[in-house]
Amino acid sequence: MSANTAMATKYRNSFLKEVEEQVEMGDWVKMCMQCGVCAGSCPVNFQSAWEHPPQEIFMMIRAGKREEVLTSPSMWNCTSCYNCIVRCPRKLPITHIMHGLAEYAHRLGIAPKMQPTRFFSGLFWKNATKTGRVNELKLSMGLYFKDGFGAGVKEGMKMKDVALGLIKAKRLNPMELLGGHKCKDQKGIQAMLKKAYEIERSRKAAKMAG
């Protein structure tokens, strides 16, 4: 049984309870009074990708629309500008809840796979933890080729002048493509990450178990 079905079975018809227990800051969801100030304050508001503003996400949680919420790309669009937190009259930590929901959907494995934010987050994490240093060249190349080879080449050509400029200004080293710079204590970094993963895994497992 997948983590998703396990959780769905566990909380049967109380998605709000599931969010309260599983999602970081999820216990705040019930305090929303549907004023809509968050939606009005959000800079992402007018982009088509933004399907549900936070207010709606909260209402959907209360209405038990589990599938719709967790597979929604909406919370992935949050830019963490914190406007909503500043303005919320009920002092809900909306930004954190959005990230909490995104993280939970990711943990359950049902978050939209190719959602750019999610894709980039994964890419960044892999890139940074591999050597302990961010390889910017590989990171941006990875993002360019997200939607296939053709699209990647096209995007790369579009950014050609910028790249050349960066190389001239010595802000970009093409040699990075061949491995790149690394953190000195590779083993130490990996050991540290391993420990962190372990702690997180056990904490989440405990949370999901109950």
Q: Name the site residues for another protein (rule: CB under 8 A).
A: 16, 30-31, 33-34, 55-56, 59-60, 62-63, 65, 90
- Residue closer to another protein by CB (options 21, 136) is 21
CB of 122 to another protein, least distance (A): 30
Query: Toward another protein, which CB reaches closer, 17 or 106?
Result: 17
For the stretch 91-106, what's the b/e string if a residue is b when 16 or more beta carbons lie within 10 angstroms of its beta carbon? ebbbbbbbbbbbbbbb
Nearer to another protein, 22 or 135 (CB): 22
In sequence order, which ranges of 31-159 are alpha helices (DSSP H)?
A: 37-41, 54-62, 66-70, 83-87, 94-108, 116-131, 136-144, 149-158
In the bound complex, what is the minimum distance in angstroms from residue 26's beta carbon to another protein? 13
Residue 62 vs 204, nearer CB to another protein? 62
- Tokens representing 177 are 């493509």
Q: Tokens 């809840």 belong to which residue? A: 97
Q: How far is the CB of 19 from another protein (least distance, A)?
A: 12
